[in-house]
Amino acid sequence: MKGIDLLHDPALNKGTAFTAAERDAFGLRGLLPPRIFSQAERAKHVMNNVRRKPDNLEKYLYLIGLQDRNEKLFYRVCVDNITELSPIIYTPIVGLACQEYSRIFRRPRGLFISKYDRGHIQEVLSNWPRKDIRVIVVTDGERILGLGDLGANGMGIPVGKLSLYTACAGIDPGVCLPILVDVGTNNDEVLSDPSYIGLVEERLRGDEYDVLLDEFMAATRRRFPRALIQFEDFGNQNALRLLSRYRQDYCMFNDDIQGTAAMTLSGLYSACRMIGGRLTEQRIVLLGAGGAALGIGSLMVSAMVSEGLTASEAISRCWFVDSKGLVVTGRNDLSGQKRRFARDCPAYTDLLDVVEAVRPTAIIGASGKAGAFTPSVLRAMARINKRPMVFALSNPTSQSECTAEEAYRYTEKRAVFAGGSPFEPVVMEGQTFVPGQANNSYIFPGVGLGILVSEATRVTDEMFTAAAIALDKQVSEEDFKLGRIFPSLSRIRDVSENIAMAVSRVAFAGGLTALTEPHDLHGHIQSKMYDPTYTDTVL
């Protein structure tokens, strides 16, 4: 590839960093300004521009534009500034970007598959120019973060997730593919937007939906037989069901269910180490009973059983509160998954009443209900516990159950806090707290890297437990001193490497791959990681 075509290929374009020899070899003389810059100089220029942007959406648009033009520079900047840029390219700003996606749509990324492609999905997949796809993130846009049904505007989620796969775990962007399955939307505001890019129809349900997804999964395996498929932001009525439907036959997982569960389990392990205690001793109230919360509960039960409890004993440590109140045996509106956790006790409808009755050591929010952890709830947790654990996991920030400042203030600075969105350090009475971000980016990139290097054929719960344990081991005493139960995001590449090692070892030990474990697994993993540094193509 030469000349203008080379400059228009984001995977190959180096812009003004092309050397004089490269400009001669590839017919670039005159197509670029004469001054030659190093990648480091261009990266500094990019960050200066990002910081000058008037708001976060403009920062997002600038970075996505860079990704469309110069992929290596984009990832160089992301890797070197991950703590600052992760909230821009993913949560929480990606939520705003999805709400505005049709209005800011400039260039298609990934594949859009609609219900009208039924019977032809294999052909649609064949339109993607790369054949060796190893990681796919797919959504149908029904439950985008805590924002609900955004339809085709939800494409921002797979795009953002795959950017983190590369930035956080070094998975080559060339083997990644974002996909939006457009089955309509039930969001009237979206449907009435004249700029909306998706199907202007109500959401497909029932058998027709299942047939479409079945065809998608089968066609994907035929076209990309070595691909890991990550389900993302599917609605509650489909997420758990589709995970159960496909997990035994495909290499797939649902990040909202399994990734969130592993991240939360790791946070609990670290919190127990920080304050002293064991997971099996905790009493945990989960606000929310959708796929994410039920996934957390299931993985916690599995972990407690591995530590010596019976399944019934482990389940007895967990209480769930949904939109109708405490999940109890006397209710006749419970799904099978919820019924497993139903308790034989009064049907409290108020979270404060639940906290007073249960006296939990930890409250975990996965409800999308902003402000649900009220001052009264937080004060009660502080009265009941010397060091209450408060995890406000809902995204984006506007949907968080409480802020970090609220958690520290109303628990007299004693809370062990983690938020799904990033919160600034809190200074209170001369003491500084650095709240940990309980973000799935600590888990799914490393899990994906472990699957990729081991070529595992399935994804198991044991892998997510191993990922949670590996993440916990990365949290240091220095982190604890700051009140943080997750490592600094600046260390995410090392964290992902360690998680990939743990996950791939599960695959090798469990016979989930035809490969044998390399003698130097760590070195093998590092050799597979994408390096966004420019290389000289003319020697």
Assess contact for 152 and 196: CB atoms under 8 A: yes
Residue type, 454: S
Cβ proximity of 221 and 181 under 8 Å: no
Catalytic residue among 72, 161, 196, 348: 161
The separation between CA 444 and the C-alpha centre of its own chain, rounded to angstroms, equals 6
Determine whether 90 is an active site residue: yes
Question: Buried (b) or exposed (e) across 30-47, using 16+ Cβ within 10 A?
Answer: eeeeeeebebeebbeebe
Contact call for residues 385 and 272 (beta carbons, < 8 A): no
Task: For residue 37, give both structure tokens.
Answer: 């810059």
* CA–CA separation, 14 and 20 (whole Å): 12
14, 59, 72, 90: which is the annotated catalytic residue? 90
Where are the alpha helices (H) located in 206-339, listed in sequence order?
A: 206-223, 236-246, 260-275, 291-306, 311-315, 336-339
Distance CA 389, CA 399 (A): 19
Closest-CA residue to 322 (of 341, 298, 300, 345)? 341
Measured between alpha carbons, how far is 261 from 154 in angstroms, rounded to an integer?
22
* Cis, peptide link before residue 396, omega less than 30° from 0: yes
User: What is the set of active-site residues?
Assistant: 90, 161
